[in-house]
């Protein structure tokens, strides 16, 4: 709401401002500087909130692995069956003769989601593993 907006001035080097404008234009994150800065502030605050163990987060865990690796698929299954409440959905794609892509949609306390990701991505043979999560805005 417009009535909630506060104006303040910030002094920054012109080169930094130029680089920021170019960054915002590349990313297409905003139509003006104020919106670009608001977006970045919200992003940083959400990132900070992610570090709080009790924060409710949603996101995905992406993994690529060779399903021929002995015992690997069994270990991945075991870990997932031990964390059923955190896993909303899974998708498995057989990429080629060797490689599988698995994507898990996850939801839960930040500390538990991170623990699950560490557990899965730490299994020998999992490549290109990544957790991406965000905080649900009320
Ligand atoms: Ni597969």
Domain positions in the chain: 12-49, 56-135
The domain 56-135 belongs to what CATH superfamily?
Answer: ACT-like. Chain A, domain 2 (3.30.70.1150)
- pLDDT at position 46 is 83
Global pTM value: 0.74
How many angstroms is it from 42 CA to the middle of ligand 1? 38
Q: Which residues pair with 104 in a beta bridge?
A: 61, 90
The Å distance, Cα 71 to ligand 1 centre, comes to 14
Distance 97 CA to ligand 1 centre (A): 8
> How far is residue 99's CA from residue 66's CA, in Å, rounded to a whole number?
5
- Ligand 1 centre to CA of 133 (Å) is 24
Q: Answer yes or no: are the C-beta atoms of 57 and 134 closer than 8 Å.
A: yes
pLDDT at 97: 95
Which regions of the chain are under pLDDT 50? 1
- The answer to whether 92 and 62 are in contact (CB under 8 A) is no
Kindly give the distance from the C-alpha atom of residue 131 to the centroid of ligand 1, in angstroms, as a whole number. 20
- In the reported structure, the alpha carbon of residue 64 is separated from the centroid of ligand 1 by a whole-number distance in angstroms of 9
């Amino acid at each position: 709401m417009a009535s909630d907006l506060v104006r303040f001035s910030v002094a920054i080097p012109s080169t930094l401002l130029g680089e920021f404008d170019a960054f915002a234009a590349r990313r297409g994150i905003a139509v003006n500087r104020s919106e670009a800065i608001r977006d970045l502030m919200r992003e940083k605050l959400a990132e900070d909130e992610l570090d709080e163990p009790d924060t409710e987060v949603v996101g995905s865990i992406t993994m690529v692995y060779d399903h021929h690796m002995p015992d690997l698929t069994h270990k991945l299954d075991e870990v997932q069956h031990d964390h059923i409440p955190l896993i909303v959905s899974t998708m498995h794609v057989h990429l080629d003769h060797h490689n599988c892509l698995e994507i898990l949609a996850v939801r839960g306390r930040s500390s538990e989601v991170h623990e699950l990701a560490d557990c899965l991505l730490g299994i020998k043979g999992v490549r290109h593993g990544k957790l991406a999560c965000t905080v649900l805005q009320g």
